[in-house]
Amino acid sequence: MPVFEFKGVTSQGKKVSGVQDGEGLKSVKAKLKRDGVVVLEIHESSSARAARKETVSFTIGSRVKLADLANATRQLSTLLSSGLPLMDALTVLVEQEEVAGLKAALSSVRDAVREGSTLADALKANPKVFSQLFVNMVSAGEASGTLEITLDRLAEFLDEQVRFRGRISAALAYPAFMTVIGVGMLFFIFSFVMPRIVGMFQDMKQQLPFITILLLAIVKFLSAFWWLLILAVAAGVYYFRRYARTPAGREYIDSRLLRLPVFGSLIRMIAVSRFARTLGTLLQSGVPTLTALDIVRSVVGNTVLANAVQQARENVREGEPIADPLRRSGLFPPVVVQMVAVGEKSGELEKMLLKISDSFDRTVETRLTGLMALMEPVIILVMGGIIGFVVVAIMLPMLQMSSGVR
């Protein structure tokens, strides 16, 4: 609760000063007036201002996990559904929140609501924590008087995102672990084992096999120019990221990603699923179609598809149904376009979009699991081939030397 410093005069003419807390400036003045104090000067205490600045600064720079935000959103929905006023619900939420960044953000939101702001406007002041989608859904819920229902839908939307990301991470975990182990083994062999063997081969007074000469050349190059390789990789990553930040670079990379064999279709399906779930959730919560499409454009995750959504938004503004510009773009699968068209005609577009997302999420998970299962033996074969090359290159001259001795 804000704390104010004041100076005033009592009804007996005695000068007084001190501090007083309250929900706002007006409430503090009213409280002092009831106590018989005529206020001459009043302002928020410097320590309270500093604490507020620190809180806002911390909130703006902090990242909050999606799972924590989903949990807080569901709790707020439950508190409001039980009949608790918004201010009391926010106070309970702030008091029980354990994540520092989210606690600071919720505290900032509560203070703004206390001062007369709407919940949506208060959330908008913390863009690092509450996305445009979050703010617009809350705004629609406030306008329609169904805030607790909207918050529940929003929590379900966030939970589904968390579950989907968890399934993708689980599918990628084992191949990534295998790759790290394999690269570590190769680094150990070329950094510690091979330099000792190179000296032994150099002392041999005989013709070495080509495969051994090739191995020695690789080891010699890596020993002499390892720093150059690291520098080249770092420079490549830097310039790639810099190029990817430009509009032309981002569009070029995203278009190439969609054309990748095997993985291109997966990337497209993930983006389309995100489009369908986000648009369906927004429309279900009462967000206007044009606003919903504008939000979807920013969260779809692929510039090429985002441009198609933007074009669809312009066409919808001119009176076209959503399905027609999606069909003309050629980027959305026919089944998606057909289901969107059916949903628009039947008045159940939101349900159709959510069904599309559920279907695509299951398909992506199944395909990705299959691909990762296929990649495991591929990784093993590649690592085994490299190690086999090293072993053969080492053993051949030894076998030649032993046969010469005989």
Q: Of 230, 247, 208, 253, whose CA–CA distance to 396 is shortest?
A: 208
What does the angle CA 79 – CA 85 – CA 88 come to, to the nearest 5 degrees?
Answer: 75
CB 102 within 8 A of CB 129: yes
Q: Token digits for 176?
A: 């990534």
173 vs 404: CA distance, rounded Å: 49
Mean pLDDT, the chain, rounded, equals 82
Predicted confidence at residue 141, as pLDDT, reads 84
55-130 with 174-406: one CATH topology?
Answer: yes
Predicted confidence at residue 367, as pLDDT, reads 87
76 vs 70: CA distance, rounded Å: 10
The three-state secondary structure class of 244 is helix
pLDDT tens by residue, the chain, 406 residues = 556 677 777 777 777 777 666 666 777 777 777 777 777 777 665 544 444 444 444 433 346 788 899 999 999 999 888 888 888 889 888 888 888 888 888 988 888 888 888 898 889 888 888 888 888 888 888 887 888 888 888 888 888 888 888 878 887 787 788 888 877 777 777 767 777 776 666 666 667 788 888 887 887 787 778 788 889 999 999 999 999 889 899 989 999 998 988 888 888 998 899 899 889 988 888 888 898 898 888 888 888 999 999 999 999 999 899 999 999 988 899 999 999 999 999 989 999 999 998 899 889 888 888 888 888 788 888 888 888 888 888 888 777 766 654 5
Q: Of 336, 275, 321, whose CA–CA distance to 300 is shortest?
A: 275
Predicted confidence at residue 334, as pLDDT, reads 92
What does the angle CA 219 – CA 184 – CA 226 come to, to the nearest 5 degrees?
Answer: 35
Predicted confidence at residue 53, as pLDDT, reads 46
CATH T-level fold of 174-406: Receptor-associated Protein (1.20.81)
- DSSP code per residue over 5-33: EEEEEETTS-EEEEEEE-SSHHHHHHHHH
Q: How many CB atoms lie within 10 A of CB 14?
A: 9
The three-state secondary structure class of 340 is helix
Q: Identify residue 326 by its one-letter amino acid code.
A: L
147-188 and 263-284 helices cross at what angle (nearest 10)? 160
4's enclosing H/E stretch is: strand 3-10
- DSSP code per residue over 174-223: HHHHHHHHHHHHHHHIIIIIHHHHHHHHHT--SPPPHHHHHHHHHHHHHH
Tell which CATH architecture fits domain 55-130: Up-down Bundle (1.20)
What is the edge-to-edge ordering of all strands in the sheet holding 15-21? 15-21, 3-10, 37-44
CB 138 within 8 A of CB 125: no
The three-state secondary structure class of 39 is strand
The three-state secondary structure class of 40 is strand
Strands 37-44 and 3-10: antiparallel
CB 293 within 8 A of CB 313: yes
Does the pTM of the predicted model rise above 0.85? no
312 vs 131: CA distance, rounded Å: 22
Q: Token digits for 102?
A: 């989210």
The residue extents of the domains of the chain are 3-44, 55-130, 174-406
What are residue 7's DSSP bridge partners? 17, 41
13 burial via Cβ count (<10 Å: 0-12, 13-18, 19+):
exposed
Residue in the structure block whose two tokens are 């989903």:
70
pLDDT in tens, 302-327: 889 999 999 999 999 998 999 999 99
DSSP classification of residue 205 = -
